[in-house]
Amino acid sequence: MRKAAAFKATEYLRDGYVVGLGTGRTAAYAIERMAAMARDGLKFICIPTSEASASKARSLGLELSTLDEHPEIDVTIDGADEFDAHLNLIKGKGGALVREKIVASATREEIIVVDEEKSVRMLGEKEAVPVELLRFGFRVTLRKLEALGCNPKLRSNDNALYFSDNGNLIADCRFGPLSNPHKLHEELNNIPGVVDNGIFVGLAKRIIVGSRNGVHVIEKLT
């Protein structure tokens, strides 16, 4: 389902586009498809959101660049952990939430690729909100996160603390269903020591959903 949706997303790409490369398994399918399109003669300039995506794209022969060189992106193809009817998202299971949000903010058309199980009535129904935080004073930051009504858990990998590509910690904060994701987004980012969080509000322009009945596209109403 994800692969079919990712391939559908690449149909919105055009020759010469600057393309943001998301992070995770779904985004990897899009990168593979883009490499096939490039072999057929299309040219893309790719802005990766993680070292993992950069490595995969490079291994497939895609041209990589940076936001410093190309501050305006035509299309970004990325995944999400949850999405609601307003095209708000929770992202960050792959650990690249800060770079993903920076790239999304510089993108003309953010396309999110998911399977049908990612759909929720309210964000937070299934997933925790990832929060990236500085190592300096992180215990103080965790207490402030807890004061917002969650039980923050520092992410680990093989029994060791997980660090993002930016060298920061990630705390997974389970709040339950979010009645006002925009408000929580602002409250989280107002905590000193928080770099950013995995709530994406108003950034996605199109969500492509892979389901057992095929692929369908949800577009943001203007």
State the CATH number of the domain containing residue 58: 3.40.50.1360
Q: What pLDDT does residue 220 have?
A: 81
Residue 219 domain-assigned (yes or no): no
Check whether residue 113 and residue 143 sit in a common domain: no
Phi-psi region of 151 (alpha: psi -120 to 50; beta: other; left: phi over 0): beta
Looking at the structure, do residues 173 and 148 belong to the same domain, yes or no?
Answer: yes
The verdict on 109 and 48 lying in the same domain is: yes
Mean confidence (pLDDT) of the chain: 96
Is residue 88 domain-resident?
yes
Please report which confidence band the pLDDT of residue 87 belongs to, taking 50, 70 and 90 as the band edges: very high
Q: Distance between CA atoms of 4 and 26, rounded to whole angstroms?
A: 10
* Same domain? 35 vs 98: yes
Same domain, 149 and 54: no
CA-to-CA distance for 57 and 43, rounded, in angstroms? 13
Mean pLDDT, to the nearest integer, of 176-203?
Answer: 98
Claim to verify: residue 186 and residue 206 sit in the same structural domain: no
Total domains present in the chain: 2
Are both 193 and 206 inside the same structural domain? no
217 domain residue, yes or no: no
Task: Give the CA dihedral 198, 45, 221, 199, nearest 10 degrees.
Answer: 0
β-partners of residue 172 are 130, 153
The answer on 116 and 10 residing in a single domain is yes
Q: How far is CA 221 from CA 46, 108, 152, 204, 207, in A?
A: 28, 15, 34, 11, 12
182 band by pLDDT with thresholds 50, 70 and 90: very high
Q: What angle do CA 62, 16, 4 make, to 5 degrees?
A: 65
pTM: 0.95
pLDDT confidence of residue 222 = 60
Q: Are residues 78 and 155 in the same domain?
A: no
Range of lowest pLDDT (62-76, 180-194, 208-222) = 208-222
CATH classification of the domain holding 168: 3.30.70.260
pLDDT in tens, 90-134: 999 999 999 999 999 999 999 999 999 999 999 999 999 999 999
Could you report the per-residue pLDDT of 43-70, keeping only the tens digit for each? 999 999 999 999 999 999 999 999 999 9
77 and 60 share one domain: yes
pLDDT at 221 over 80: no
Q: Are residues 112 and 191 in the same domain?
A: no
What's the domain range around 50?
A: 2-120+201-212
Do 146 and 98 reside in the same domain of the chain? no
Q: How many helices (H) and strands (E) does the chain have?
A: 6, 16
CA dihedral 67, 206, 116, 83 (to 10 degrees): 70
Supply the residues annotated as catalytic: 100
Q: Is residue 79 part of a domain?
A: yes
> How many residues appear in the chain?
222
Percent of the chain exceeding pLDDT 70 equals 100
Q: Which amino acid is at 25?
A: R
Cβ–Cβ < 8 Å for 110, 22: no
Is 154 inside a domain boundary? Answer: yes
In a domain? residue 218 = no
pLDDT of residue 175: 97
